[in-house]
Structure 1
Amino acid sequence: MGTSHTKATQEAAVVHLLADDAGMTVYIGCPDSLGGEDGRTALADFYHAVLGWQLYDAYGTFFLSRSPQFRIGFDGDGWSDQRPPRWPDPEYPQQIHLDIAVPDLDAAGTRVLAAGGALLQDDADHRVYADPAGHPLCLYPDPSRTTTGPAVARLVYDCFSPRSLARFYEGFIGVPERLEDSPERVVIDLDDDELPDLAFQHAQLLAPRWPDPAYPAQLHVDYRFTVDHELPHFQTPAAKAAMARAQELGAIHLQNVVYADPAGHPFCF
């Protein structure tokens, strides 16, 4: 069921089960309008300025991608005018955010501000910004990225019990190794240079209840476990096995190919 991946520095069979092609797509919810501009266009342009990745339009949806395995999409699903993100207010939560590794923190921060973002918090080892719609994102300095440019280092989930949610994703994606492990924060290693690691941090917040706009999920993730050009990916044996595995581990089937993890975060196949 799994696939083999090649790391940039060494040949290695990666343990995760995600596909080589679009194995993970993170969708950021966009308002209809933002600053007098189409919301999807505005946020796509913002993240393009921050990351410098290829920006393209596929069937009416904007995507950013640096490699075939991982991409960021922009659509209206998950956005709620009733409860837009206002970090760190738990009444207006952002249940998932991006940790972005950048070669130069000051230069990257300047790009964020020039593109319409706002500085929310300046800590010793990272800075928290908001994109023009209010979604928080964190920038971490990583001088090793001088030649390769910015990358999404982690996809960070807010949840009440990090260890419990980490166990779900370890079983679901097939990842056994933790880079961090404490009651407050767990990071699991996808061991793949093209995909972000998954992090889970303790937070007391309103959990998402998709598709209720009063309890929105500002971001959601699509997972692909195989590529078969003869079948839609969610109808492949690997995807069907992943759906069954997700439910065995505690996920809830919400609608069609939409599921929710045990903490309520929706995800799709």
Structure 2
Amino acid sequence: MIKYLTNQFKPEKLYNIVDKSIIFFGFFTIILIITGTAWALLYSPSDYQQGETVRLIYIHVPAAILSLFTYFCMAVFAFIYLVWQFKMSGIMSISLAPIGSILTLITLISGSLWGKPMWGTFWIWDARLTSELILLMLFLGIIFLNLSLDLSYKNLKLPCLLALVGVVNLPIIHFSVEWWNTLHQGPTITKFEKPSIDHSMLLPLLFNIFSYFIILATFFLLTLRNNILKYECKRNWVLKLIKE
């Protein structure tokens, strides 16, 4: 299977696939952002307790979910690279780090803005908040570690190893509200039998989660395309592409 993927997803082939996909995903990204923002700000109701502050969930929740999903995917790609030496998987792994760091930063900022009127403070060393901050540090650590090394496929091992080590933080983030007594509220939309949120808010929230997923895919493709060119810059196919 890995041998097949290695043959099919050679750098030049993968670059062509990614380059063609960006336009498609980019188009839907614009539509989804406009629709999701309008739905959240103009058509979803305010909360009887939180008032208009509740609209922050349409940013905070999707960003939080996708930050964990991004790290998980980054770790999977890192594992494939380290075990089977599939070099394009290593490129995919490091390409997710900048996007994950932005999503995690959005999660922390939007959570702080929500926390001030609800908790009376922008920050508290709550288990969920602290573990999410550690996630940001992991993303940044992988980014800076990769930038400190020479452009070589063999130098992808250290960032990929760090990505695997950080996986232990994911269940801590997810279950922190159940394992410890924290200020952060418990799960809402993950209780599919009876979500703790009205459908008038649940539907736009789910739509925005899907929108963030498409946004993630778009920026991942953009970053992946750039990284392929960086690591393959001395190859004939890249030089030929530059001349064109």
Asked if TM exceeds 0.5, the reply is no
Quick check: which one's strand share is greater? Answer: 1
Per the normalisation by structure 2, the TM-score is 0.25
Higher relative contact order (CA 8 A, sep 6+): 2
Per the normalisation by structure 1, the TM-score is 0.23
Q: Which has the larger radius of gyration?
A: 2
